Amino acid sequence: MSIFPVYIVGAGPGDPDLITVKGRKLLEQADVVIYADSLVPPEMLDCCRADAEIIPTADRTLEQIMAVMLERVRSNLLVVRLHDGDPSLYGAIHEQITALVEAEIAFEIIPGVSAFQLAAARLQVELTIPELVQTIILTRISGRTQVPEPEDLASLAAHHASLCLYLSARHVEAAEAKLMQHYAADTPVAICFRLGWKDEQIFVVPLAEMAATTQKQGLIRTTLYLISPALNRLAGKARSKLYDPDHDRLFRPKPAP
Ligand SMILES: C[S@@+](CC[C@H](N)C(=O)[O-])C[C@H]1O[C@@H](n2cnc3c(N)ncnc32)[C@H](O)[C@@H]1O
């Protein structure tokens, strides 16, 4: 038995200040930090102890990562496995969880800010505007990893939701064609490159220009697309019931007449 669980921590999208307080405290205390160096900026590790062992994993296999993780935690070291964004989204943690369960090692997951949340913040929008759009879809297009057929992008586009498209820049022409089956050609799309990194770039273009803009800017990696009617500031004049003076709420009952 090990003293500590393995802590799987979400680092957020890039800005070192966007990690949770709990995640940051664990990074400060960790004996060992095993981190996804292709997606987590090195500045994230500035708060680590000078004697902490820092292990980048971009060039390692799952077996190599698990071997070092299990060895260190069994040596009663505090191990942080640091993933970009929120670990529950395209984080490849399922296979690590399976291996930890098989090894009978306890673990705890500390959530992080996902790329789509920083995109909405940068764009200064709400993705769920009353009477305009009330659903957010987080998805990707098939690449080396196949998306199950019932989740095909064209069928998800039919919902006209706020759609956040991960891991799709290499296949942007196919993505645009599928989205155009249901969204209007002038639906705003935010193309968000390396949000929270020093070279962050955001382009807001009509859907019909999504692929051309991506290719012109040479974006291949670390790009999130946000396709949503909510990006049009003038759309959706309806307001929420939450702060409506005519709406009786548990915490703000209407004054007696
Ligand atoms: C392996 S997935 C990890 C997603 C991550 N777990 C999250 O919650 O944001 C990597 C993809 O997420 C998106 N992504 C992650 N970080 C990003 C960032 N800082 N800026 C833009 N897109 C990002 C891109 O679509 C990228 O291809």
Q: Counting every residue, how long is the chain?
A: 257
- Which atom of ligand 1 is nearest the CA belonging to 89? 6
Quote the ligand 1 centre to 45 CA distance (angstroms): 19
Name the E strands within the chain.
6-10, 32-35, 53-56, 79-83, 107-110, 136-140, 162-166, 188-193, 201-206, 223-227
What pLDDT is attached to residue 33? 98
On whether the 6-110 domain is CATH 3.40.120.10, my answer is: no
Quote the ligand 1 centre to 48 CA distance (angstroms): 23
The pair of three-digit structure tokens given for residue 48, joined into one six-digit string: 């680590």
Quote the ligand 1 centre to 251 CA distance (angstroms): 38
Per-residue CA distances from 21 to 10, 58, 83, 110, 194 (Å):
11, 25, 15, 10, 22
Quote the ligand 1 centre to 224 CA distance (angstroms): 7
Ligand 1 pocket residues where CB is under 6 Å: 13-14, 84-86, 89-91, 114-115, 166-167, 192, 194-197, 222-224
Tell me which of 82, 90, 217 to substitute to probe ligand 1's pocket, judged by most ligand atoms within 8 Å of the beta carbon. Answer: 90
- Which atom of ligand 1 is nearest the CA belonging to 221? 27
What pLDDT is attached to residue 251? 66
Quote the ligand 1 centre to 4 CA distance (angstroms): 29
Residues of the chain within CATH 3.40.1010.10 domain(s) are 6-110
Place of tokens 């009952």: 253
pTM: 0.92
What pLDDT is attached to residue 244? 66
Tell me which of 18, 39, 94 to substitute to probe ligand 1's pocket, judged by most ligand atoms within 8 Å of the beta carbon. Answer: 39
- Domain 115-231 superfamily per CATH: Tetrapyrrole methylase, C-terminal domain (3.30.950.10)
What pLDDT is attached to residue 249? 63
Residue nearest to atom 1 of ligand 1 (CA): 90
- Which atom of ligand 1 is nearest the CA belonging to 200? 20
Contact between 175 and 153 under an 8 Å Cβ cutoff? The reply is yes
Quote the ligand 1 centre to 85 CA distance (angstroms): 6
If phi over 0 gives left and psi between -120 and 50 gives alpha, with beta otherwise, what is residue 10? Answer: beta
What pLDDT is attached to residue 235? 61
What pLDDT is attached to residue 146? 92
What pLDDT is attached to residue 253? 65
What pLDDT is attached to residue 232? 85
Residues of the chain within CATH 3.30.950.10 domain(s) are 115-231
> Which residues, given as ranges, of the chain have pLDDT below 50?
none
